[in-house]
Chains A and B, each alone.
Chain A
Amino acid sequence: MLKNIKINKLFFLYIFLIFTGSVVANNCNAVEPEEFLKDPKQELRARNISQNVRCLICQNQSIDESSAPLAKDLRIIIRNKITEGSTDEEIYKFLTDRYGDFILLNPPFKTSTILLWILPFIFFLIAIVVLYWHNKNSKKNN
């Protein structure tokens, strides 16, 4: 089965906490030289986009780093779209229309992800309140 044969680099990282009994291999055949666009500016855009697009059948890996055939197809599609003059937004929309938000490594800002983006700031505000409170009390004490 296509999706189970391809194993990815980050799967190996699972030994960071020692995983068991998995067959792993490291294939370093990510983006290939033949895929590169002639225009370096366009190529840079393509690389940037591919680094934000998840390899769907891998674990936490972008299509830029993946050797999966689907990742390669997507890289080629992204480059074709760039040469055809699509904007980055159009390309991301093309991808999410087909694969959902799951394909974006950088989650978009919308209702389901509001908490994800806002909570770090709320944490930050709480920290500032704590500091202020401590500071105020210290003046009272003295």
Chain B
Amino acid sequence: MRKFIFISPIIVFFCIIFIFLYLLITKSDPSELPSALINQKAPKFETLSLLSEKNFLYEKEFNHDLKIVNFFSSWCIPCSAEHKYIDLLSKEKGIKIIGINYKDDPKKALQWLDNLGNPYSDVAIDSNGDIAINWGVYGIPETFIVNYNNIIQYRLAGPITKKNYEAFYQQIIKNK
């Protein structure tokens, strides 16, 4: 008992150091923040469509396919940078991508899509950011993988880049 008291400081110390070391070495990418919505049903919303100027047809868009939901805005610089990867996923891999236009001027958003190309099957307008909050979005761009049952499988906070594109695509394949 007495011995244990004298050894306990070094034991506690080693535990702390190993925790720190583990964190430093395996330091996960900050953008891999686990979403509270993983394995939850994709939140529903009612809004207008940016492309058709009519109601966004939630039931039609969230059908029985795997889909990706991408929050973007024309004023967000990393969104422009990630756009070519979204494009790639849509046009080359043939994956259904739903856009959600976060706090944007519809005119500017349309202009932006004209310039960079439109990979989205439809774009929902989130003028005051309510949809984003319901989806637990921290900051745009954020991209969700939603499976055929409309269950959220994965969330990427931050842009898709050259670096994480392949890993992200693997996540899509995994959930197909």
- Number of A-B residue pairs having CB atoms within 8 Å of each other in the complex: 46
The answer to whether B140 touches A98 (Cβ under 8 A) is no
The answer to whether A3 touches B77 (Cβ under 8 A) is no
The answer to whether A99 touches B139 (Cβ under 8 A) is no
The answer to whether A99 touches B36 (Cβ under 8 A) is yes
Q: Which residues of B contact A102 (CB under 8 A)?
A: 33
Q: Which residue of A lies closest to B159 (CB)?
A: A1
Roughly how many angstroms separate A1 CA and B75 CA in the complex, as a whole number?
9
> Does chain A have a CB within 8 A of B76?
yes
Interface residues of A, count at CB 8 A: 16
> Does chain A have a CB within 8 A of B106?
no
Contact mask B28-69 → A, CB, 8 Å, 1/0?
A: 000001111100000000000000000000000000000000
Chain-B contact segment, one of A12-20, A45-53, A69-77, A110-118: A69-77
The answer to whether A99 touches B136 (Cβ under 8 A) is yes
Q: Which residues of B contact A56 (CB under 8 A)?
A: 138
> Does chain B have a CB within 8 A of A23?
no
Q: Which residue of A lies closest to B73 (CB)?
A: A2
CB-based closest 9 A-B pairs: A3-B139, A100-B36, A2-B139, A98-B136, A1-B78, A73-B129, A56-B138, A99-B136, A57-B139
**Interchain Cβ contacts under 8 Å between A and B, 13 examples:** A1-B139, A1-B159, A2-B76, A57-B139, A73-B129, A73-B130, A73-B133, A74-B133, A98-B134, A98-B135, A98-B136, A100-B36, A102-B33
Q: Which A residues are closer than 8 A to B by beta carbons?
A: 1-3, 56-57, 69-70, 73-74, 77, 96-100, 102
